[in-house]
Amino acid sequence: MPRYALTIAYDGTDFHGWQKQHPPDSEPLRTVQGLVEAAVEELVRQPVHVLGASRTDSGVHAEGQVASFESPKPLDPTVLPAALTSRLPSDVQVRSAQEVDLRFNPIGDATSKGYRYRLAYARATADSRPLFDRHYTSWCPGELDLEGMQRAARDLVGEHDFAALTRVRHGRESTVREIFDCTVVEEEDRRLRIDVSGNGFLWNMVRIIAGTLVGVGEGRIEPDSIPDILASLDRQRAGRTMPPEGLCLMWIRFGAPGAGQERQRLAAARRREEEAD
């Protein structure tokens, strides 16, 4: 069966995140995966499983989510985006589609991801708080030290244990990740964006990074304290978890099909060796 990869954009405001959720004794929650899967099934007239590269949380948006599925019949990638988008609600769009190698795994083969956090800040006045873009821009009712935030952001770059910048019950075996770039840019007066890219992210990690940088901007956290916070592995040393509406998954890049499975195999072998020692 051929396999296809989709690039999907969505407004996460009215979704319970990407991943399908069916609580006991109740109706399934509204999720992006559930709706995209239903659209594909309507098109091919058979059950399918749509696998997404990133499990975005409730309220988080995406411009470049990537998902794949196997089709029981060949499909034309040039018409697939329009065919699926026509079967989806107005807050989800399939932006592009392509046929991919049968070994392609959107989770395991992802080599880097980029997120953007949008924030407005100022003394609370009638017109400074986001209104028409309030579902896509977070709000901080005070002034921020942009230069201090930029200094702190640079110390997040590199491979670190990010246990201090994720939820306490994160559910991951390892909290070591590599941040390739982290920048704070003022796009317009009292409107800024935080761009973060890396080889992978933990639960709420980008929102906590944003909250820690905002803490620096507010003067609650010293700009030069990021290395100490990371070394502490203590979630309480970092900043707050920022609201989801400011966060957007911008893009995902991939390596060779099947490379993710090989990385997982080598990592498992290394863990067995360490346990044996």
CATH of the domain at 133: 3.30.70.660
Same-domain pairing of 121 and 80: no
Same-domain pairing of 85 and 140: no
- Could you list the residue range(s) of the whole structural domain that residue 157 is in? 114-249
Structure tokens at 59: 């309220």
Same-domain pairing of 77 and 173: no
177 pLDDT band, cuts 50/70/90, is very high
C-alpha closest to that of 196 among 143, 243, 246: 246
Q: Which pLDDT belongs to residue 172?
A: 67
Of the residues 65, 100, 135, which one is the last residue of a structural domain?
100
Same-domain pairing of 154 and 220: yes
Same-domain pairing of 243 and 120: yes
In a domain, 266, yes or no: no
Note the pTM of the prediction, 2 decimals: 0.91
Of the residues 72, 100, 128, which one is the last residue of a structural domain?
100
Same-domain pairing of 64 and 122: no
In a domain, 216, yes or no: yes
102 pLDDT band, cuts 50/70/90, is very high
What does the pLDDT average to over 207-220?
98
């360490």: which residue's tokens?
274
Q: Is 109 a catalytic residue?
A: no
Residue 236: Cβ within 10 Å count: 8
CA distance 227 to 244: 25
In a domain, 272, yes or no: no
Render pLDDT for 255-270 as a digit per residue (tens, 0 to 9): 988 766 555 554 555 4
CATH of the domain at 56: 3.30.70.580
Of these residues, 57, 145, 181, 195, which one is catalytic?
57
Structure tokens at 54: 């990133």
Of the residues 37, 72, 100, which one is the last residue of a structural domain?
100
CA distance 27 to 24: 8
In a domain, 262, yes or no: no
Question: 192 has which bridge partners?
Answer: 119, 186
- Domains: count for the chain: 2
Structure tokens at 88: 């989806």
